[in-house]
Structure 1
Amino acid sequence: MHRYVPMSLLRLFSPLVTPLVNAAPKSRLERAANVWDLREAAKLRTHRMCFDYLDGGADDEIALARSRSAYSDYHLHYHVLAGNSPETLDLRTKIFNRDVSLPFFMCPTAGHRMWHTEGELASASVAAEKNMLFSLSSLATTSIADVAKHHPASLPKCFQLYLFKDRGLNRDLLAAAREAGYDAVALTADLTWFGNRERDKRNGFSVPPDYSVKQIVEAIKRPAWTWDYLTNPTYTYANIANDLPAEAMSYYINRQFAPDFTWQEAEWIASEWGGQLALKGVVRADDAVKALDHGFSTIWISNHGGRQLETAPPPISVLQEIRDAVGDDVEVIMDGGVMRGTDIAKALALGANSVGIGKAYLYGLAAGGSRGVRRAVDMLDDELRRAMGLLGCRTTKELRERGRELVRHK
Structure 2
Amino acid sequence: MGKAASALDYRELARRRLPHFLFEYVDGGSYGEVTLRRNIADLEAVALRQRVLNNVSEIDLSTELFGQRIRLPVGLGPIGLAGLTARRGEVQAARAAEAAGVPFCLSTVSACPLAEVAAGVTKPFWFQLYMIRDRVFMRDLMQTARGLDCSALIFTVDMPVPGSRYRDQRSGLAGAPGVLGDMRRVWQALKRPSWAWDVGIHGRPHQLGNAVPVLGNDSGLNDYFAWMSSNFDPTVTWKDLDFIRSEWNGPLIIKGILDPEDAHDAARLGADGIIVSNHGGRQLDGVQSTAVALGPIAEAVGDQLTVMADGGVRSGLDVVRLLALGAKTVLLGRAWAYALGSDGQRGVAHLLQLIEAEMRVAMALTGTTRIADLDRSKLVSAEAGANNRAAALA
What's the TM-score once normalised by structure 2's chain length?
Answer: 0.91
Which runs of 5 or more residues in structure 2 are unaligned?
386-394
* Structure 2 SS opposite 1:240: helix
> Is residue 114 from structure 1 mapped to residue 84 from structure 2 by the alignment?
yes
**Aligned AA (1:234):** P
- Structure 1 distance, partners of 2:108, 2:44, is 33
> Is residue 226 from structure 1 mapped to residue 191 from structure 2 by the alignment?
no
The CA deviation at 1:127 is: 0.8
* Match 1:41 to one of 2, 13, 30: 13
- Structure 2 distance, partners of 1:241, 1:252, is 11
> Is residue 198 from structure 1 mapped to residue 173 from structure 2 by the alignment?
no
Query: What's the counterpart of residue 55 of structure 1?
Result: 27
* Match 2:305 to one of 318, 321, 330: 330
Q: Deviations over 1:349-404 (max 9, x none)?
A: 1111100000001000111111111121111111111101111111111224xx33
* Match 1:189 to one of 157, 162, 184: 157
Q: Deviations over 1:80-119 (max 9, x none)?
A: 011212xx11111122221110101100111122211131
The CA deviation at 1:408 is: 3.0
> Is residue 342 from structure 1 mapped to residue 317 from structure 2 by the alignment?
yes
**Aligned AA (1:408):** S
* Structure 2 SS opposite 1:186: strand
> Is residue 244 from structure 1 mapped to residue 246 from structure 2 by the alignment?
no
**Aligned AA (1:133):** P
Task: Answer yes or no: is the 8 Å Cα contact 2:172–2:181 preserved in 1.
Answer: no
Task: Answer yes or no: is the 8 Å Cα contact 2:48–2:378 preserved in 1.
Answer: no
> Is residue 139 from structure 1 mapped to residue 105 from structure 2 by the alignment?
no
- Structure 2 distance, partners of 1:245, 1:273, is 28
Task: Answer yes or no: is the 8 Å Cα contact 2:129–2:155 preserved in 1.
Answer: yes
Which segment drifts farther, 194-203 or 144-153?
144-153
The CA deviation at 1:177 is: 1.0
- Structure 2 distance, partners of 1:325, 1:67, is 21
Task: Answer yes or no: is the 8 Å Cα contact 1:209–1:215 preserved in 2.
Answer: no
**Aligned AA (1:254):** S
* Match 1:162 to one of 130, 138, 141: 130
Q: Deviations over 1:53-94 (max 9, x none)?
A: 000001111100100111122111121011212xx1111112
**Aligned AA (1:330):** L
**Aligned AA (1:232):** G
The CA deviation at 1:294 is: 1.8
Query: What's the counterpart of residue 231 of structure 2?
Result: 256
**Aligned AA (1:280):** K
Task: Answer yes or no: is the 8 Å Cα contact 1:122–1:370 preserved in 2.
Answer: yes
**Mapping for residues 219-368 of structure 1, pairs under 5 Å:** 219-228=189-198, 229-241=200-212, 243-247=217-221, 249-250=223-224, 251-368=226-343
- Structure 2 distance, partners of 1:239, 1:371, is 25
**Aligned AA (1:63):** T
The CA deviation at 1:214 is: 4.0
What percent identity do the matched residue pairs reach? 34
* Structure 1 SS opposite 2:253: strand
- Structure 2 distance, partners of 1:299, 1:208, is 39
**Aligned AA (1:106):** L
> Is residue 151 from structure 1 mapped to residue 131 from structure 2 by the alignment?
no
Task: Say if 1:174 and 1:352 are closer, same or farther in 2 by CA, change over 3 A.
Answer: same
* Structure 1 SS opposite 2:211: coil
**Aligned AA (1:68):** I
* Match 1:179 to one of 147, 157, 181: 147
Q: Deviations over 1:276-327 (max 9, x none)?
A: 1111000000000011122211111100000000011111111110011114
Task: Say if 1:209 and 1:390 are closer, same or farther in 2 by CA, change over 3 A.
Answer: farther
The CA deviation at 1:212 is: 5.5
- Structure 2 distance, partners of 1:283, 1:128, is 29
* Match 2:372 to one of 372, 397, 404: 397
* Structure 1 SS opposite 2:86: coil
**Aligned AA (2:206):** Y
Task: Answer yes or no: is the 8 Å Cα contact 1:349–1:407 preserved in 2.
Answer: no
Task: Say if 1:236 and 1:214 are closer, same or farther in 2 by CA, change over 3 A.
Answer: closer
- Structure 1 distance, partners of 2:138, 2:182, is 36
- Structure 2 distance, partners of 1:158, 1:332, is 16
> Is residue 371 from structure 1 mapped to residue 346 from structure 2 by the alignment?
yes
* Match 1:130 to one of 95, 100, 119: 100
The CA deviation at 1:405 is: 4.0
- Structure 1 distance, partners of 2:41, 2:288, is 12
What's the TM-score once normalised by structure 1's chain length?
Answer: 0.87
Which runs of 5 or more residues in structure 1 are unaligned?
1-25
Task: Answer yes or no: is the 8 Å Cα contact 2:313–2:332 preserved in 1.
Answer: yes
Task: Answer yes or no: is the 8 Å Cα contact 2:173–2:181 preserved in 1.
Answer: no
The CA deviation at 1:275 is: 2.5
Which segment drifts farther, 359-368 or 217-226?
217-226
Task: Answer yes or no: is the 8 Å Cα contact 1:350–1:404 preserved in 2.
Answer: no
The CA deviation at 1:179 is: 0.8
Task: Answer yes or no: is the 8 Å Cα contact 1:334–1:356 preserved in 2.
Answer: yes
The CA deviation at 1:219 is: 2.4
- Structure 2 distance, partners of 1:379, 1:343, is 12
* Structure 1 SS opposite 2:160: coil
- Structure 2 distance, partners of 1:109, 1:211, is 23
* Structure 2 SS opposite 1:49: helix
